[in-house]
Structure 1
Amino acid sequence: MLKRIETYYDAVPRSSARAEEFGPLTLFVQEGQGWPYYARPALGHEGEVGVGAVEAVRARQRELGVPEAFEWVAETTPGLRAAVEASGLTAHEHPLMVLEGDGVAVPEPDGVAVRMVGADDPALATAVAAPFAAFGAAPQPGTAERIAERIDAGLTRLAAALEGGRALSAGQHQPVGAVSEVVGVGTVPAARRRGLGLAVTAALVADARAGGVELVFLTASDADVARLYGRLGFRTVATALIAEPEEA
């Protein structure tokens, strides 16, 4: 299962990024505008990763003006944490969760319609913006258009909880063959504690299963959020690590 997830992690950025190889590490670089990617272990690499390789990638990230970020699975590449921390980065642990069965349906919240959002849907712009608003941010210009292109290409599936035609919560799953990851689920602050994020996640799970996805997974931000996803049938199978410079 973790090998399938590793293969997915290597494949999914390649639809919009180029890959630069640094021995045991691969740096994904966004082509054009869009959310910047990260570096991760090269697919199939099973040996140790030295500090020198990490520092070479960080130098390239600084040259490109992108975040000095690394993402990987602790159980798959156990030695990478020591190397990134020796280079001065801080690693953060997050539960990596896999769906068991078809998922658990949740009641639709009162007064809210939870559904998939298409590329030409009038709710697309607010569905794209809602997860950004959840973290006090706004999408870059052109983000909705890029998401629409990905929906048309079958690379992204978008679900939202709508009230009066406006998205209060939204999220995506990104299918690659029979594997998909649920990502970017967020609820605008004023609509929290109504179960909207859980309902959106359930809709994404149902859509993935209906589309023939066999392995659905996600990364929870922390143990409390992992317990919520557990209500939908997800269980923790490993630890996802994200390393970046410590905030000043």
Structure 2
Amino acid sequence: MDLRIQQSVLSRRPAAVESGPFILGFDPATDSPNINYATPRPGAEITASDVASLVGAFRSASRRPRLEYVVNCAPALEELLLAAGFTVEERHEFLTCSPESFVSPPPVDGFVVRQPENRAERAAMVAAQGEAFGDAFEVSDADVDRLETLRQQGGFEMAAFASDGPCAGAGQAVPPGGGVSEIAGIAVRAPYRRRGLGGTITAALSRQIFESGADLAWLEASGDDSWRVYERVGFRTAGRRLYIRL
């Protein structure tokens, strides 16, 4: 399971660059460390020299050195990174769902969960996610372009719209690779929480993933409330991931 998750991340790094046993993804449209990060090849032997070369590759690209990876795929790497001055950002457990464990929740009255149909709806989706995560910002064309590119490449997007119009929440999933797709960005704006929308959005994305032929959806939960949401639609704890930066 860990190997499949790690391989799926490797397969979708933007503008991928190799540095020894690492794959770096550099997005020329943004310097966000949440998008520009490295991940190790599963099972590769990694040395302190490899870590030093990795840092140099980030510096050459004018990006902050940062990694995200499944812990069991490189169990000795964290010690090397800490010795090189890296700091742990977060440790997350990830959950997985298969067609066999998937549970479809009932619809939520007063809302429709569907794919956004145009740029205006995609902009509303991005804005809702930003607000829900406590990071309200002015949505740019690049933000909308990124969603449209996701869909063009075979990814999925889903938004919840209230009957009176506003986008209440949203989420997306990356294009499946090796039968695996990651669900991310599940967010519901504060006025619309505790109605089941998070689970409904997650389930709608999971359904699309499985209908595409993939057999494994995965995501990360940030707290007890989100864990319960995901478990209700069939997700189960499967492993751990590390976020670490210099």
Task: Tell whether the structures are fold-level matches, with TM greater than 0.5.
Answer: yes
Change (3 A) 1:69 1:205: same
**Residue equivalent to 2:221:** 220
Question: Is 1:11 aligned to residue 11 of structure 2?
Answer: yes
SS at match of 1:125: helix
Q: Could you tell me how far apart the structure 2 residues matched to 1:99 and 1:63 are? A: 39
Tell me the equivalent position of 2:86: 89
Query: 1:73-112 maps to which residues of 2 (within 5 A)?
Result: 73-91=70-88, 92-100=90-98, 101=100, 103-112=102-111
**2:150 touches 2:174 (CA, 8 Å); kept in 1?**
no
Q: How far 1:53 moved relative to its partner? A: 2.4
Report the Cα offset of residue 102 of structure 1. Answer: 5.2
Equivalent of residue 18 in structure 2, options 18, 21, 35: 21
Provide the C-alpha distance between the structure 2 equivalents of 1:34 and 1:156, rounded to a whole number of angstroms: 22
2:169 alignment partner in structure 1:
169
Tell me the alpha carbon deviations over residues 45-74 of structure 1, each in whole angstroms, 9 at most, x when there is no partner. 432x23332233234324433232101111
The amino acid that maps onto 1:161 is A
Deviation track 1:124-181 (CA, whole Å, cap 9, x = no partner) reads: 2211222122222334442112312332x24321001101332111000112242211
Normalised to the residue count of structure 2, the TM-score between the two structures is 0.86
Equivalent residue, structure 1, for 2:211: 210
Runs of 4+ in 1 over 4 A off after TM superposition: none
Unaligned residue ranges in structure 1 (runs of 5+): none
With over 3 angstroms needed to count, the CA separation of the structure-2 counterparts of 1:166 and 1:237, relative to structure 1, is: same
Equivalent residue of 2:148, what SS?
helix
The secondary structure found in structure 1 opposite 2:12 is helix
Q: Which deviates more, 217-226 or 72-81? A: 217-226
| TM norm structure 1 | 0.85
1:8-48 CA-to-partner distances (Å, cap 9, x unmatched) read 111112xxx22222212221111334753211103x5432x
Q: Take 1:176 and 1:111, find their aligned partners in 2: how far apart are those partners?
A: 31
Cα distance per residue 1:103-129 (max 9 Å; x no partner) = 1112222311112224x3652221122
Q: Find the counterpart in structure 1 of residue 124 from structure 2.
A: 126
